[in-house]
Structure 1
Amino acid sequence: MTESTHSHSSGHDWATYYQAVEGRPPRETLLKALTNFDAEPLLDRPRFAVDLGCGDGRDTVELLRRNWRVLAVDGEQKAFDRLLDRPDLQRDLLQTQLMRFENLALPSGIDLINASFCLPFCLPTAFPKLWETIVASLNPCGRFCGQLFGDRDSWAIYPNRTHHTRQQVEALLQPFETEWLEEEEHPGVTAIGEQKHWHIFHVVARERG
């Protein structure tokens, strides 16, 4: 994953960010999780995914293309304005919910929770409850995929960001069988061209049944 694909500016300039990443493909973590689902027996129903921090829908669109039922969640109305305006959006299996992480409530029976580059934007005081909600909402053998930011990331100085050490990430993943965990650290730039030191954990994990 290159630096230019990475996430939002420290100033939360979402409109500029959405414009910068327009048309980009689904995240590698999502594609790896979907490949793992494809290796399992088919169900007699559409699988159900929640796309947290869905943004303009780069992952939501891929899930819908594969006939998943999707609940797209974001805290910014601008995200849904862009998502619902996409010409490649298949709406039949889509629901949307405007909700911030600090107030997140999810239905049960979720097969996949996808959180691409969004969980670090949860307030540190609210993160334990957010993670508890994610774990509790997944079906047995359901999956989580997405990113967590490391403690050496340059955004760790901001008090409204949540960052983790490698040990803390491994502790969060205790309820799961970790299928892919890649730690990435290097200098680079954000999607809108800001200089940044990246420290990221890419995760695909299957909840223990």
Structure 2
Amino acid sequence: MTSSTAERWRGYYEKAIQRSHHPLTEMAAQENRSGLNVAVDCGCGAGGDIQFLREQGYQVHGFDINVDSIEICRQRFEQDPLIDISQDSFEQFDYPTTGVLIANASLYFAEPTQFTRTWQRLTDAIEIGGVFAGGFMGVADDWATHSDHTITALSRLQVEALFDGFTILKFDERNQPGKTALGRHKHWHTFSVVARKIR
């Protein structure tokens, strides 16, 4: 990671720590029918979703590949034995069996060449009746072709095909100009999904 990229991430986390949890996370917690109060937050950032899930009575495992994120979350939650924070990647994280799995604004940073295997490991960890909530990057997004990071970008059909064995509870597509969290202009093309595992 270049120094300018690292600085942008630090700026992002400084803003993110002021934000509350993601609405998809709230929906996922409400829709969990697995009977398992365990959650995984993939790409946990500054920990807003972790905080919310703990308040709902979940044991939470959060991971992020960025050291700034991990430092923030470890300081924020160091007194809570039911929150486990680790510096890890989508490809290497050891997913526990979970009732809620969150991947808000993070899954598109998964390694494209390993995405099929990563998705399988991730969904295998969700208990029947458990819920996935997260986002995917579409092929028309500016970051799909111009990013400092390796990006996994998918078409709508590809995203829909991932959820064989799930009931889709929410599926939204955003394809429009906008701004990043740091105020930079970009074209967004993303899919937001909440889905319950049925088999």
Q: State the match for 2:24 in structure 1.
A: 29
**1:61-98: CA deviations, max 9, x gaps?**
00011110001111122112111333x88613111121
Distance 1:27 1:89 in 2: 22
Q: 2:69: which partner in 1? A: 79
Taking the aligned partners of 1:112 and 1:32, their CA distance within structure 2 comes to 10
**1:4 is matched with which residue?**
none
Amino acid at match of 2:22: R
Output the CA distance in 2 between the equivalents of 1:105 and 1:56.
21
TM-score (norm 1): 0.85
Quote the Cα distance in structure 2 between the aligned partners of 1:98 and 1:189. 28
Give me the whole-angstrom Cα distance separating, in 2, the residues matched to 1:202 and 1:22: 22
Q: Aligned partners of 2:79, 2:58: CA distance in 1, in Å?
A: 10
Give the root-mean-square deviation of aligned CA atoms: 2.0
Give the corresponding residue for 1:100: 89
Tell me the percent identity. Answer: 31
**1: CA distance, partners of 2:72 / 2:46:** 5
Out of 176, 179, 183, which is 2:173 matched to? 183
Instruction: State how far apart, in whole Å, the 2-side matches of 1:64 and 1:89 are.
Output: 13
Residues 61 and 90 of structure 1 are in contact (CA less than 8 Å); yes or no, is this contact kept in structure 2? no
Contact persistence 2:17–2:47 (CA under 8 A): no
Structure 1 CA distance for aligned equivalents of residues 57 and 78 of structure 2: 12
Q: Specify the code of the residue in structure 2 equivalent to 1:146.
A: G
- Report the Cα offset of residue 126 of structure 1: 1.7
| Separation of aligned partners in 1, 2:78 and 2:189 | 32
Aligned partner of 1:164 in structure 2 is 154
Map 1:56-71; keep pairs closer than 5 Å.
Answer: 56-71=46-61
CA distance, structure 1, for counterparts of residue 166 and residue 78 of structure 2: 31
For structure 2, the 5+ residue unaligned runs are: none
Letter matched to residue 114 of structure 1:
I
CA distance in 1, matches of 2:182, 2:170: 28
Letter in structure 1 aligned against 2:95: L
Residue-pair matches, total: 193
- Residues 1-209 of structure 1: pairs in structure 2 closer than 5 A: 11=5, 13-37=8-32, 40=33, 43=35, 47-86=37-76, 91-107=80-96, 109-158=97-146, 160-209=150-199
Task: Answer with 134-143 or 88-97: which moved more.
Answer: 88-97
With normalisation by structure 2, the TM-score equals 0.89
